[in-house]
Amino acid sequence: MKQHSFEAQHESTWASIEESLQQPSKGSNGRVLAEHYMLLCQHLAIAKERLYDAALVERLNNLVLGLYRELYRYRSETRLNLFAFFKRDFPLAIYRHRFFILAALLVFVLPGLLAGAWTYFDDEALYTMVDAQQVREVERMYDPEARVLGREREADTDIYMFGFYIKNNISIAFRCFAGGILAGIGTLLVLFFNGMFIGGIAGHLTRLDYVDTFYPFVVGHGAFELTAIVFSGAAGLRLGYAIISPGPFSRLDSLRLAGRDVVPMIYGIVLMLVIAAFVEAFWSSSTLLSTQTKYATGACLWALVLLYSFSGRRHEPR
């Protein structure tokens, strides 16, 4: 068949499909879509086989591409099933990242402990890590004489602090993850310095005997926040490790596979940090609750997070 007759025979079909692809929002009928897709695949194959001219091949190619994108729009992974995610996907992702989590935990906790010990025994030590202005701010925040806890509240609204914690903490976790693509170095730096700051400040405040204001404040949301930072570090290290040690894959393929693997971790981290911000703004900062209540709930939250984090193994297919 000559190209002209082929075009004349199918022109109306192509034109109508082109038109329907222009306004795809009108929920396209799956059956019709599949039929069109198969038909156009055949037309494209014919056009290529018979060496019809480049313009026609390109037009058919674009039609198939449009139909293909439409056809694969609804995949199960785009529909996030929250229940299945919490019950299975996230714990399983945690289990599969266990070695990276362990590594991230060490890089986060060890500098924290060292910095904490140092600032606990040396009054001046914190000033080598944080500038004097910030030290004063932190000291004022947890001064037992002060009436409000946490960051100083110019206007006493929890919602403001909620927004503040979301913006700050989730951004830190995101950067911690993203730094992983630099062969893991960015992640290691973020983990190391955040561990050091948190440990250093904790040691310093303990030395000043602000124990009753600082620890009850951080114990509740710390369960989610600290864990989430370690998780984001683990996700970042997963990317970095994929580049350093690609195994049987090319470095690029290995990185891409790692990029797919860490997705459930990222969803989980975001959710944990939102919870952390909630707890931090509306619970931790409350001055009405007694120290005991905060310790008790804090212990419960830690137990919950840890138990949950260790629950993934049974979902690993054998």
Partner 1 sequence: MLDTRYRVEIPGGIHLEAQVVGPIPRCFAFAIDLLIRGLLMFVLWLSALPFGLFGVGGGFLMILLFALEWFYPVLFEVLWRGQTPGKRILGIAVINDDLTPVTLGTSMVRNLLRTVDFLPLFYLAGLVTMLSNRRFQRLGDLAAGTLVISLREAARAAPVGEVQPLAPPTALLRIEQTSIIDFLQRSPQLSVPRQQELAGILEGITHARGEDGVTQLHRIGAWFLGVR
Task: List contacts with partner 1 (CB under 8 A).
Answer: 1-6, 37-38, 41, 44-45, 48, 50-51, 53-56, 58-59, 61-62, 64-65, 68-69, 72-73, 75, 77-78, 80, 154-155, 157-164, 166-167, 170-171, 174-175, 177-179, 181-182, 186, 239, 252, 255-256, 258-260, 262-263, 266-267
Least separation, in Å, of the C-beta of 90 and partner 1? Answer: 13
**From the CB of residue 172, how many other CB atoms can be counted at a distance below 10 Å?**
17
Least separation, in Å, of the C-beta of 297 and partner 1? Answer: 23
**Nearer to partner 1 by C-beta: 112 or 268?**
268
**Nearer to partner 1 by C-beta: 126 or 191?**
191
3-state helix, strand, coil split of the chain in percent (to 5) is: 80, 0, 20
Least separation, in Å, of the C-beta of 239 and partner 1? Answer: 6
**Nearer to partner 1 by C-beta: 117 or 255?**
255
Phi-psi region of 316 (alpha: psi -120 to 50; beta: other; left: phi over 0): beta
**Nearer to partner 1 by C-beta: 122 or 158?**
158
Judge whether 288 and 216 are in contact, CB under 8 Å: no
Reduced to 3 states (helix: H, G, I; strand: E, B; else coil), residue 206 is helix
**Nearer to partner 1 by C-beta: 125 or 262?**
262
**Nearer to partner 1 by C-beta: 55 or 288?**
55
**From the CB of residue 14, how many other CB atoms can be counted at a distance below 10 Å?**
18
- In one-letter notation, the amino acid at residue 268 is G
Least separation, in Å, of the C-beta of 51 and partner 1? Answer: 4
69, 233, 303 from 308: Cα distances, Å: 38, 18, 8
Least separation, in Å, of the C-beta of 19 and partner 1? Answer: 13
Distance CA 97, CA 297 (A): 28
First to last CA, the chain: 55
Least separation, in Å, of the C-beta of 77 and partner 1? Answer: 5
